[in-house]
Amino acid sequence: MAGYTAKDVQALRQTTGVGMLDAKNALEENDGDIDLATQWLRVQGLAGAAKRADREATQGAVAVVREDNVAAMVELRCETDFVAKSAEFVSLADELAALVVAKGEEAAAERQDEVDRLCTVLKENISLGRAVRFEAAGGEVLDAYLHQQAGRGVNGVIVLLRGGDQELAHEVALHVAFARPTYLRREDVPADEVAAERATVEEISRNEGKPEAALPKIVEGRMNGWFKDRCLLEQNFARDEKQTIAGMLSSAGAEVVRFAQIVIGS
């Protein structure tokens, strides 16, 4: 790498927002001079993504790919739904998900140059979001669900079960898409988050004038409701609210190993 270093490339990318290939080309064209390379990029119409980097990317697309016993889900972020539903944007999200299926969660970063190029072409802050990959082992089954809106995925779910079948996994995935649980079970909720909520509930109950002797039972009841909102296994099944997800799975001889959900804007 005559005339410039990897740090020069990184510095130029940070100040201009261009991709790695464009940064290298600019430095090569200008004998490693960063100032001249920056000006060269401006003339070429490539510098400008850095100005977009501070703009909030709350839109985007979710892509889900399932092949045999492997499923992957990738989020590609942007600023507007106009860009999010464009064919080139959606196509790249699908390609990233296929890459993650084949090579693993870190593989999406291999296409960073393409993400950077799209940022320049579409003139928005575009970035890789979350990437998830599940692989079913022996005795396990997985399925996925993707809710689409205006031609792009906006709510994706992957569910991995031990026992049961793919139809059951799909039913759980549909429920997760609707109910949006954050955790699998209450033991998974961070202790500091539970403590903060319990303190808030106690204060609210006292402010309502509840008898001190009744507070423990009242607080426990409200905490149970709070856990139910957040924990998949405690939620009532969306298709049959007479049974919980845990109860439905138990009757089928199945259990959730793990699940993941990506919702655009959350």
User: Are 226 and 237 in the same domain?
Assistant: no
Mean pLDDT of all residues in 103-120? 91
- How many domains would you assign to the chain? 3
User: Are 155 and 131 in the same domain?
Assistant: yes
Q: Please, are residues 165 and 143 in contact by the beta-carbon 8 Å criterion?
A: no
For residue 1, being part of any structural domain is answered with no
Q: Is pLDDT at 51 greater than 70 in this prediction?
A: no
User: Are 134 and 238 in the same domain?
Assistant: yes
What's the CATH number where 217 sits? 1.10.286
Q: Domain boundary residue among 37, 52, 67?
A: 52
User: Are 97 and 178 in the same domain?
Assistant: yes
Higher pLDDT, 155 or 265: 155
Range of the domain at 34: 6-52
| Predicted local confidence at residue 93, as pLDDT | 97
For residue 222, being part of any structural domain is answered with yes
pLDDT digits (tens, 9 = 90+) for 207-219: 888 899 999 999 9
Burial code (b: 16+ CB inside 10 Å, e: under 16) for 69-108 equals eebbbbbbbbbebebbbbeebbebbbbbbbbbbeeeeebb
Q: Is pLDDT at 31 greater than 80 in this prediction?
A: yes
Mean pLDDT of all residues in 106-124? 89
User: Are 170 and 208 in the same domain?
Assistant: no
Q: Is pLDDT at 45 greater than 80 in this prediction?
A: no
User: Are 146 and 91 in the same domain?
Assistant: yes
Which tokens hold the place of 255? 């259990």
User: Are 97 and 131 in the same domain?
Assistant: yes
What's the CATH number where 46 sits? 1.10.8.10
User: Are 20 and 33 in the same domain?
Assistant: yes
User: Are 136 and 222 in the same domain?
Assistant: no
pLDDT digits (tens, 9 = 90+) for 5-18: 888 888 887 677 67
145 confidence band (pLDDT: 50, 70, 90): very high
For residue 237, being part of any structural domain is answered with yes
What is the reported pTM? 0.78
Lowest mean pLDDT among 30-34, 44-48, 55-59: 44-48
For residue 147, being part of any structural domain is answered with yes
**How far separated are the first and last CA of the chain, in Å rounded?**
42
User: Are 218 and 255 in the same domain?
Assistant: no
Collapsing DSSP to helix, strand or coil, 238 comes out as: coil
- Say how far residue 187 (Cα) sits from the centre of its chain: 22
Q: What is the mean pLDDT of the chain?
A: 90
| Predicted local confidence at residue 1, as pLDDT | 46
Q: Which of 25-34, 44-53, 120-129, 188-197 holds the top average pLDDT? A: 188-197
| Predicted local confidence at residue 257, as pLDDT | 97
What's the CATH number where 122 sits? 3.30.479.20
Mean pLDDT of all residues in 60-83? 95
User: Are 168 and 202 in the same domain?
Assistant: no
User: Are 239 and 157 in the same domain?
Assistant: yes
Mean pLDDT of all residues in 77-99? 95
Q: Is pLDDT at 86 greater than 90 in this prediction?
A: yes
